[in-house]
């Protein structure tokens, strides 16, 4: 692994891309420390605001600081999920764009950005209004709806500027820009989380009496969860496929390939879906009146075993739902038949589709259970130890960080391999 990083630094083009990415991420973190005008952050705390915890996580603590980047890229992510779902034969025009290659994808991205702007404005307005009313006054001066809208516009501008920074990373840096922005936000918040846990176990006024033993157990659990996420992200079931004799060409008779099926094809999307479904009623209730919001906050209490069970069921259901949207056994069976390939012992056509579907559902069951375990672990640890759920082991943050890190390393290795190949061919 050390040699890989040395190769990255020694390669001039890769080194430039890494330095450019670090520069963009520095700008992001600088903006995350700039508070929105007219807001006194001392009057606000995220404690007890479950519906804002995920947003603060994706923004790297920007929401807690009430910075100009408070919304992060969350509205764009939500908009992209909505557009992606609607393009799956729900809205014919979007489905046609999805099948139209690069030009269609560009049109879909433009629609996603416009929808993201609208969602950021609405989301920013109601969030700032809800926080201001529940905190008893968030602004230095008296606030009105015009004030809330003004701050919402600033939040929206911050989100769109982040998307521009993400585009620069994608084209001139390393990795996917949006993923890198989220990655940087979560990683930037990790030192404060570790400091909080250290103080909770070993500080001058510890809130937990386990001492060094508790802190070491926390560190070991953190490492174990990272290893588990790596296994979950890389594990796959390889179904052997064989070329029919009429399509073999230069292949050796009996030569086998594989059809890889990941145990977690849905990645972290089911957790985001489940969280959005839970947050939606609370956000709407906060617009209606405080009593309705407080009632739903008590119902959706992450420390309640019944609610954690409900949350787990939602994640499992969404995992199967999104996996079957992403991986279509019918298309797989059709493509195998067109390419003259088949699964040994399984007839082409409907039998292949049924076989792939059965295997996919079996491995997705394991993936869904692992994803659910990692997602609810912070709340279980929080209930057992008294630690804040945002600092507890596991959760969406680790899944995102590990996944982005693995994808970025893979992309950098691919760039080095391609450059080495070009140098070899050019000799």
% of the chain with per-residue pLDDT over 70: 77
What does pLDDT average to over the chain?
78
Domain ranges of the chain: 15-185, 208-427
- Decide whether 15-185 matches 208-427 in CATH topology: yes
Top-confidence residue, 393 or 371: 371
Top-confidence residue, 288 or 145: 145
Backbone angles phi, psi at 223, to 5 degrees: -65, -45
Taking each helix axis as running N to C, give the angle between helix 101-134 and helix 290-299, from 0 to 180 degrees, rounded to the nearest 10: 110
Q: How far is CA 342 from the centre of its chain?
A: 35
Over residues 267-293, the pLDDT tens digits come to 777 887 777 677 666 666 666 666 666
The angle at the Cα of 363, spanning 362 to 364, to the nearest 5 degrees, equals: 90
Is residue 173 within 8 A of residue 164, CB to CB? The reply is no
Top-confidence residue, 361 or 382: 361
Over residues 47-101, the pLDDT tens digits come to 555 556 666 666 656 777 788 888 888 888 888 878 877 877 777 888 888 777 7
Instruction: Confirm or reject CATH 1.10.3370.10 for domain 208-427, answering yes or no.
Output: yes
Asked if pLDDT for residue 248 goes beyond 70, the answer is: no
pLDDT value at position 280?
A: 65
% of the chain with per-residue pLDDT over 90: 7
Instruction: Confirm or reject CATH 1.10.1060.10 for domain 15-185, answering yes or no.
Output: no
Asked if pLDDT for residue 21 goes beyond 60, the answer is: yes
When mean pLDDT is compared across 80-94, 358-372, 412-426, the lowest value belongs to 412-426
Confidence of residue 160 (pLDDT cuts 50, 70, 90): very high
Is residue 123 within 8 A of residue 75, CB to CB? The reply is yes
Confidence of residue 168 (pLDDT cuts 50, 70, 90): very high
């Amino acid at each position: 692994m050390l040699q890989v990083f040395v190769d990255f630094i020694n390669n001039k083009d890769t080194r430039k891309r890494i330095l450019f990415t670090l520069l963009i991420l520095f700008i992001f973190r600088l903006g995350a420390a700039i508070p929105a005008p007219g807001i006194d952050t001392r009057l606000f705390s995220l404690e007890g605001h479950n519906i804002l915890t995920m947003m603060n996580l994706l923004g790297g603590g920007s929401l807690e600081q009430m910075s100009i980047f408070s919304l992060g890229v969350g509205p764009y992510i939500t908009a992209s999920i909505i557009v992606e779902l609607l393009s799956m034969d729900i809205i014919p025009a979007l489905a046609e764009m999805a099948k139209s290659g690069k030009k269609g994808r560009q049109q879909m991205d433009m629609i996603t950005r416009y929808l993201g702007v609208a969602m950021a404005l609405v989301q920013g307005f109601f969030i700032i209004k809800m926080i201001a009313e529940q905190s008893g006054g968030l602004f230095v001066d008296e606030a009105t709806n015009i004030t809330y809208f003004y701050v919402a516009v600033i939040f929206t501008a911050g989100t769109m500027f982040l998307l521009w920074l993400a585009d620069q990373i994608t084209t001139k840096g390393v990795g996917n820009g949006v993923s890198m922005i989220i990655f940087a936000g979560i990683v930037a918040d990790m030192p404060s989380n570790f400091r909080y846990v250290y103080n909770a176990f070993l500080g001058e006024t510890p809130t937990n009496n386990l001492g060094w033993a508790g802190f070491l157990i926390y560190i070991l659990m953190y490492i174990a969860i990272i290893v588990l996420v790596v296994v979950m992200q890389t594990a796959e079931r390889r179904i052997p496929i064989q070329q029919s004799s009429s399509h073999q060409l230069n292949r050796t008779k009996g030569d086998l390939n594989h059809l890889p099926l990941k145990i977690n094809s849905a990645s972290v999307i089911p957790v985001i879906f489940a969280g959005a479904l839970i947050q939606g009623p609370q956000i709407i209730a906060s617009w209606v009146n405080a009593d309705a919001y407080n009632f739903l906050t008590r119902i959706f209490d992450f420390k309640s075993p019944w609610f954690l069970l409900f949350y787990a069921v939602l994640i499992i259901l969404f995992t199967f739902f999104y996996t079957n949207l992403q991986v279509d056994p019918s298309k797989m069976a059709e493509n195998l038949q067109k390419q003259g390939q088949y699964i040994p012992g399984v007839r082409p056509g409907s039998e292949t589709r049924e076989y792939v579907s059965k295997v996919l559902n079996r491995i997705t069951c394991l993936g869904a259970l692992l994803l659910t375990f990692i997602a609810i672990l912070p709340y279980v640890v929080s209930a057992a130890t008294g630690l804040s759920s945002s600092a507890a082991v596991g959760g969406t943050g680790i899944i995102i960080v590990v996944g982005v890190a693995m994808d970025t390393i893979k992309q950098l290795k691919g760039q080095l391999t391609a450059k080495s190949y070009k140098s070899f061919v050019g000799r």
